[in-house]
Amino acid sequence: MNATPALRPMPRQVDIDSLAAFDEHARMALDRPPGKYHASMRGWHVQSVDLRHRAGMLELLDPAGSVFLGCELKPASAQLLSHGGALIFPEIPGIPFDMYRPELYSGPELFAGIPTKGYEQTPDARIYAWSHHRLGAGAHDSLNAALATTLHDHAIGSALESALESGALSENPVVGLMGGHAQERGTAGFRNAALLGRALARAGFTVATGGGPGAMEAANLGAYLSAHPDAALDSALGQLAGAPSFTPSVTVWARLAMDVLARFPGGAVNLGIPTWSYGHEPPNLFATHIAKYFANAIREAVLLEKCTGGIVFMPGAAGTVQEVFQDACENYYGVPGTITPMVLVGVEHWTRTLPAWPLLRALAAGRGLEAHIHLVDDAAEAVAVISREAGR
């Protein structure tokens, strides 16, 4: 009978997504004093890096416990790494996206070609069509698709984490703005969501939404145009009203958004977190950074988790109600310092139309959550609550 091996801490994971970062970590590893982890790559996750000209350096490093995702390697290097205990994940042929992509998406990237082609020919639509077909295909194709989408969502999660920790999204606290996808352009509800997004951005918060149409698009639009004069939002809202919804034509809906972006470049940084799980629902173009996932459950969890400055809930239906109580559950079991504010906007909606507020208040009674739930009737009140909770 073999003795139970001694328990050891897991090695620290090191995410490497550029050749410069690989060179820096390799230099530090080679400079370590001789010992157990001298010149070791244990815990390294190297993603989408061209290492064909680093064959000599790879020979000097111990690959045990490292992972290489979609890297370009010479055959001899790949064999050396594999035999030395590294895991190598190659590209899978026929995948219409980079499953190891090191950065978030942008709206113009997902909608590339929309000025001259139909939405069906854009990368966003083609990726959804592929996922819809492949995830329900035969065993081999389905396995490849599941592996590709899982690795993609992991890569997007890593890219989002980097952007929030030290990248473009790291400057301000993130505040989520949740609301229904059915809110049409040209309506008072759409305008109110845009005004709220703008006000939150101007108050020093990074606005995050589910990245879809409706109230989500409005909030991203308002945040984006917060860097422009007030008249810009009025003009954009008037222009977008020409295509109230993404039905019957996503193409027309998206082209109007592209026209607004062309008229008002250089908007404020904001975040959208949509999903290909809802193929009928396109992402909006006004989020400057888009973390689009295949798995909706992961997307929902990530969206709520990253909104450390709190969440504002605009009137919505089933999806928004789900988000209210998913966030409430996290806060219900939270300890002081981890509970984030929840602000429900629309007294009539949340007390009569969909009476989530009475249940939320009853749930929060006597808990740490109780002091952090709020029901207000307009955008200014919501911004004041979020700012006060943030100590601003």
pLDDT, one tens digit per residue, over 348-382 is 999 999 999 999 999 999 999 999 999 999 889 99
End position of a domain, from candidates 62, 89, 116: 89
Average pLDDT over residues 50-73: 95
Categorize the per-residue pLDDT at 51 as very low, low, confident or very high, splitting at 50, 70 and 90.
Answer: very high
Residue 366 sits in a domain of what CATH number? 3.40.50.450
Pair (194, 306) in one structural domain:
yes
Categorize the per-residue pLDDT at 278 as very low, low, confident or very high, splitting at 50, 70 and 90.
Answer: confident
**H or E stretch covering 31:** helix 19-31
pLDDT, one tens digit per residue, over 95-144 is 999 999 889 999 999 999 999 999 999 999 999 999 887 655 544 578 88
- Using DSSP's 3-state secondary structure scheme, residue 181 falls into coil
Pair (209, 73) in one structural domain:
no
Pair (177, 84) in one structural domain:
no
What are the backbone dihedrals phi and psi of residue 249, each rounded to the nearest 5 degrees, phi first? -130, 110
Pair (346, 229) in one structural domain:
yes
For 136: left if phi > 0, alpha if psi spans -120 to 50, otherwise beta; the answer is alpha
Is-contact 314 195, C-beta < 8 A? no
pLDDT at 48: 87
Is position 131 within any domain? no
Is-contact 209 216, C-beta < 8 A? yes
For residues 107 and 56, give the distance between their C-alpha atoms in angstroms, rounded to a whole number.
40
Residue 169 is encoded by which pair of tokens?
């999204």
Domain membership of residue 228 as a residue range: 173-389
For residues 151 and 294, give the distance between their C-alpha atoms in angstroms, rounded to a whole number.
10
Q: At what angle do helices 215-224 and 188-202 cross, to 10 degrees?
A: 40
Pair (77, 186) in one structural domain:
no
The closest alpha carbon to 218, from 247, 172, 184, belongs to 184
For residues 111 and 123, give the distance between their C-alpha atoms in angstroms, rounded to a whole number.
6
Is position 378 within any domain? yes
pLDDT at 132: 82
Q: Which residue has the higher pLDDT, 176 or 12?
A: 176
Pair (73, 199) in one structural domain:
no
Residue % of the chain over a pLDDT of 90: 82
**With 90 as the cut, is the pLDDT of residue 17 above it?**
no
Is-contact 305 123, C-beta < 8 A? no
Categorize the per-residue pLDDT at 94 as very low, low, confident or very high, splitting at 50, 70 and 90.
Answer: confident
Is position 105 within any domain? no
Pair (187, 82) in one structural domain:
no
Is position 6 within any domain? no
Average pLDDT over residues 270-275: 97
pLDDT at 1: 37
Task: For CA atoms 178, 180, 181, 183, give the dihedral sign.
Answer: negative
**With 70 as the cut, is the pLDDT of residue 75 above it?**
yes
Q: Which residue has the higher pLDDT, 92 or 23?
A: 23
Is position 240 within any domain? yes
pLDDT, one tens digit per residue, over 295-311 is 999 999 999 999 999 99
Is position 118 within any domain? no
Pair (82, 183) in one structural domain:
no
For 89: left if phi > 0, alpha if psi spans -120 to 50, otherwise beta; the answer is beta
Categorize the per-residue pLDDT at 4 as very low, low, confident or very high, splitting at 50, 70 and 90.
Answer: very low
Pair (78, 191) in one structural domain:
no
For residues 21 and 29, give the distance between their C-alpha atoms in angstroms, rounded to a whole number.
12
The closest alpha carbon to 370, from 380, 361, 382, belongs to 361
End position of a domain, from candidates 52, 70, 89: 89
End position of a domain, from candidates 89, 117, 134: 89
For residues 59 and 354, give the distance between their C-alpha atoms in angstroms, rounded to a whole number.
63
Is position 262 within any domain? yes
- The count of domains in the chain is 2
